[in-house]
Amino acid sequence: MRGNKVCGIAVVVDRELVPQNDDRATARDNELTRMLEMIRHRGDADHFGERGSGAGFSMGTNRLAIVDRTHAAQPLSDEAGQVWLVFSGELYGFRDIRQELEQLGHTFRTDSDTEVVLRSYLEWGIPFLRKLNGMFAFVICDSRDGSFLAVRDHVGIKPLYYQLQDGVYRFASEQKCLLNHPALIRPVPPGTYVQNGEEVRYFELDEPQVSTTSSAASRRYRELFEAAVRKQVDTDLPLAVPFSGGIDSAAVLQAARRYHHDVTAFTVGFEGAADVEVARRYCEDFGVKQHIVYLKPSDLIDIIPRIVHGAELFEVVDIIDACTQFLVYQAVRRRGIKVAICGDGADEVLAGYDLFKTHADPVGLMKYRVGNLHRTDLQRVDRSSMLNSVEARVPFLDRHLLEFAYSLPMDLKIRDGVEKWVLREAMRDRLPAYIVDRPKIRMPDGSGIKNVVIDHARQHVDVDDRVARGLGITSTEGAYFLDIFLKAGFPPPTERFKRPVDDYAPNGYFEFIS
7, 141, 283, 323: the catalytic one is 7
| Backbone angles phi and psi of 44, in degrees to 5 | -75, 150
Q: Is 7 a catalytic residue?
A: yes
Task: Please indicate if the annotation marks 113 as binding a ligand.
Answer: yes
Contact call for residues 350 and 419 (beta carbons, < 8 A): yes
Rounded distance, CA 49 to CA 36, Å?
6
Partner residues linked to 134 by β-bridges: 91
The residues, ordered by sequence, that sit 6+ positions from 166 with a Cβ below 8 Å of its Cβ are none
Rounded distance, CA 385 to CA 332, Å?
9
Alpha helices in 265-359 (DSSP H): 274-286, 297-301, 304-311, 316-334, 346-349, 354-358
> Distance between alpha carbon 147 and the CA centroid of its chain, in Å?
28
Contact call for residues 58 and 12 (beta carbons, < 8 A): yes
Partner residues linked to 141 by β-bridges: 84, 148
Contact call for residues 222 and 426 (beta carbons, < 8 A): yes
Rounded distance, CA 476 to CA 464, Å?
10
What does the CA dihedral 432, 436, 439, 445 come to, rounded to 10 degrees?
60
DSSP SS3 for 16: coil
Specify the amino acid at residue 396.
F
Element holding 392 (H helix, E strand): strand 391-393
Closest CA to 263 of 272, 271, 254: 254
Cα distance from N-terminal residue to C-terminal residue, the chain: 45
Rounded distance, CA 292 to CA 270, Å?
10
- Report cis status (omega within 30 of 0) of the bond before 75: yes
Element holding 433 (H helix, E strand): helix 433-436
Q: Radius of gyration (Cα) for the chain, nearest Å?
A: 22
Q: Which are the catalytic amino acids?
A: 7
Binding residues: 113, 268
Binding residues for ATP: 268
Binding residues for L-glutamine: 113
